[in-house]
Every structure is written in C-alpha cells, then in structure tokens.
C-alpha cells in the first residue's frame, strides 16, 4: 500500500514508528538518516522504499536495547558523545558498518569512514573516543 518512490526514511519513521533514524537535511548529505542495508551504510532519506524491498535493513533500534545496548551504543553513552544527538544515529550506524569490516581501525580510518556524517555540535572528538572504545570492547 506504499508508493514505491516514498523514501525509506518516511516508511521507517511514520509507518513503522522506528524513530531512531533521523530526518535532517533530506538530501543525503548529513548522515542522520543512515541505516544498514545488507551490510552497507545507506542514506534512507533519498532511497526509495522500492529499492529496499525484500532486502535486510537494520535501524538503530535493531542494534541493541536499553537493557542490552550494542557496544557502540554503550560507548557513545559512556563517552558522552552526544550533545543534541541528531547525528548519533548516522554516526553509530556508519561506525557499525566500518567496525564490521575493520575491527581495529586507526583514528585516520575512523575519520575517513565518518567523513560524510555531520555533527553540528562539534562532538567529533568524543565520537572518535566512543568508536575507539567500542572497537576495544569488541576485540
């Protein structure tokens, strides 16, 4: 019953009530809407739902829970990486994909992986510390 060109972001947020994925720029430039689509970080604000049909999608809610947070979620809390938290979904989801592919990244590799994610509060150093912490804990 959904229009095939509807952005995946609207399906997740408005129909499925999965609000961890954020709307920010609407043009796939900031990363707040990032989800994991079959192992790759993708921007859901411009991805038509038809492109995700019958494919594996993981949202922030799928990583962990309040009782059992994913190591990245736990590290972001412990490092107090969020200020306003608009970018946290994109940062965590992008970091998850990166750590799955490179479990022991250098700071330069983490920065490169997050290059397309914007944090308007400037929490980049705390975000970097959180990702390093999660990588250590997973190792």
Query: Which tens digits make up the pLDDT trace of 79-115?
Result: 999 999 999 999 999 999 999 999 999 999 999 999 9
Alpha-carbon dihedral sign for residues 15, 68, 115, 109: negative
Task: Give dist(CA 10, CA 45) in Å, integer.
Answer: 8
Mean pLDDT of 53-75: 96
Rounded average pLDDT over 43-49: 98
Residue 139 in this model has a pLDDT that exceeds 80: no
Per-residue model confidence as pLDDT tens digits over 50-62 = 999 999 999 999 9
The string of pLDDT tens digits covering residues 9-38 is: 999 999 999 999 999 999 999 999 999 999
- Give the model's pLDDT for residue 53: 94
47: pLDDT strictly greater than 80: yes
Q: Which of 68, 73, 75, 69 is nearest to 132 (CA)?
A: 75
pLDDT at 138: 84
DSSP state of 48: B
């Amino acid at each position: 019953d959904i229009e095939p060109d509807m952005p995946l972001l609207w399906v997740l947020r408005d129909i499925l009530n999965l609000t961890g994925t954020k709307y920010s720029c609407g043009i796939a430039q900031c990363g707040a809407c990032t989800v994991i689509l079959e192992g790759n970080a993708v921007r859901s604000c411009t991805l038509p739902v038809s492109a995700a049909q019958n494919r594996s999608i993981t949202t922030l809610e799928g990583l962990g829970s309040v009782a059992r947070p994913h190591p990245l979620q736990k590290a972001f809390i412990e490092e107090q990486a969020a200020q306003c938290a608009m970018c946290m979904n994109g940062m965590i989801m992008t970091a998850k994909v990166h750590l799955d592919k490179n479990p022991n990244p250098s700071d330069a590799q983490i920065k490169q992986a997050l290059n397309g994610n914007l944090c308007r509060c400037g929490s980049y150093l705390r975000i970097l510390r959180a990702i390093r912490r999660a990588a250590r804990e997973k190792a």
